[in-house]
Structure 1
Amino acid sequence: MAMTENAAKKWEGIQILCEARMFAYNLLRSTFIQEPSREFIDLLERDEMIPSFPFTGDNQEIGAGVEQVNKYLERYKSMAAGARDEELERLRWDYTRMFVGPYQLPAPPWESAYLNEERLLFQEETLAVRRAYLSYSFIPRNYHREADDHLGLELEFMFRLSEMVAGKAAVRDAVGAEAILKDQEAFLTDHLLKWVPRFAEDVIHSATTDFYQGMARLLKGFIYLDRQATAELLQAIA
């Protein structure tokens, strides 16, 4: 009976950590995959999703990001309707200016822009990311129109795999969960950790809104912390 109870507690802890990772990747992918919509900002403000971001007390960068974004949303909430419209346009321009164009991008959201010497897209870095996607039959949105190594797509891939790990953990499939976690660990090491910290620093220094400065801090802190989280999950499942 004791062993059964211990096993149940172990898998409960694994499930909680899996769900925390899903929450974080879902929020981050939604932030960087496209320009902010009114519905997205209202959702963050209404459901208090930022204060619920996991691992806030475990990482100084995450804690600073949560505080900065939360203050921004509090100001947004206090605005009149017309002022909210103006602020949303300012936020959209901040996204467009940094990540879309038409001018030179201060924070290009593609892995190849940071790892390729010529900063060209659709290079070997992009193809390596595509191979990782295809191993899980993950076909990115705007396939062949958006480079596979866009930050939003890489975060979406990690979110989908985190969902799969949580599903395996729910039925206590240790072998299945371990295989996916090892692939996530490899993707973090081979891709995200190689360029996202520099990207996040570029956003922090070039964003004109507290929202994107804070979200960049959340992103940077979480990417580092998630390598530790995957290692802890692998150790717990073994």
Structure 2
Amino acid sequence: MTSQDDGIAIILANRHYLYQLLQHIFGNEPNQELLDIATNEHTQEALELMLDEENPNLNTYITLLTELRVALTTDTEGTLDKLKSEYTHLMIGPNKLPAPPWESVYVTKERALFQESTLKVRRTYLNYQFLPANYPHEADDHLAFELDFMAHLAKLTQERFDKQNFHEVKKLLSDQKAFLEEHLLVWIGDFAKDIQESKTHHFYPHLAALTEQFLQTDNLVLDELLSLL
């Protein structure tokens, strides 16, 4: 591999890692293992590689990581309970969710689930034989599912790049860019705004803002990768 290929390989690996991490954060109740990964040095390095070091969302998140590490060390059970409570309030209910984590809620006047946008997402998944874990009981356009789909394509991209199948790599990168622009980037800003205005303020609002910034940056990264191949 050339030095350029090495650089591309590192970016592809970091993209997959971060999409996978964000999918777990928004799709699963927090536990010790997940928080250990979210707060470790590798995660910080991956974010610093993808985002501008002067980015305020990155700086806020790194500060949050430090605070979380300390809190988990000094009061593991209490910190986990707070995060689980926050996750339940924001992502599960039973009360009305302050920031519903489904695309269709933000792109339809009815703010309802299982709309045409949901079917469009499903058809895109099926192009890659991808089915969300809770299909068909959970709407396909849940944030965690869309992030999981991006992680799936990012992994396929790594595998094809390692085999130097650049034609398939370009196709995969183009499809990821299309999915970002037609789906995730259409609503992640409104979701992040709503969750910022919720009554909770410990972890997930910061993560939503960081996720929005990461997706916007990744769209630019995809342009750069496509220009290099």
Question: What TM-score, normalized to structure 1?
Answer: 0.89
Match of 1:169 among 151, 161, 172: 161
User: Given the superposition, is the C-alpha separation of residues 116 and 24 from structure 1 closer, same or farther in structure 2, using an over 3 Å criterion?
Assistant: same
Aligned residues: 227
Q: How far, CA to CA, are the matches of 1:125 and 1:13 in structure 2?
A: 36
CA contact (8 A) 1:68 1:211 kept: no
Percent identical pairs in the alignment equals 36
Partner of 1:57: 52
The answer to whether the Cα contact below 8 Å between 1:91 and 1:209 also exists between their aligned partners in 2 is: no
Amino acid at match of 2:65: N
Which residue of 190, 193, 204 maps to 2:196? 204
Quote the Cα distance in structure 2 between the aligned partners of 1:136 and 1:228: 23
What is the aligned-residue RMSD (CA, Å)?
A: 1.8
Q: Identify the residue that residue 145 of structure 1 maps to in structure 2.
A: 137
Asked if 1:27 corresponds to 2:10, the answer is no
From 28, 36, 39, give the equivalent of 2:30: 36
CA distance in 2, matches of 1:125, 1:115: 8
After superposition, the Cα gap between the structure-2 partners of 1:171 and 1:21, relative to the gap in structure 1 and judged at 3 Å, is same
Greater mean alpha carbon deviation, residues 50-59 or residues 207-216: 50-59
CA drift at 1:49: 4.1
Q: Per-residue deviation at 1:12?
A: 1.5
| Runs of 5+ consecutive residues of structure 1 not aligned to the other structure | 1-6
- Which amino acid in the other structure matches residue 20 of structure 1? N
Structure 1 residue 20, shift from structure 2 partner: 1.5
- For each residue in 1:102-142, what CA deviation from the matched residue of structure 2 results, as whole angstroms up to 9, or x when unmatched? 11111100000111111111110110000000000001101
Q: Is the 8 A contact 1:65 1:213 kept in 2?
A: no
Q: Secondary structure at 1:53's aligned position in 2?
A: helix
Contact 2:100 2:191 in 1 (8 A): yes
Matched letter for residue 233 of structure 1:
L
The structure, 1 or 2, with the larger RCO (C-alpha pairs under 8 Å, 6+ apart) is: 1
Query: Would you identify which runs of 4 or more consecutive aligned residues in structure 1 move more than 4 Å?
Result: none
Task: Answer with 1 or 2: which has the greater Rg.
Answer: 1
Match for 2:212 among 216, 220, 228?
A: 220
Quote the Cα distance in structure 2 between the aligned partners of 1:207 and 1:167: 42
Aligned to 1:109, the other structure's residue is in SS state: coil
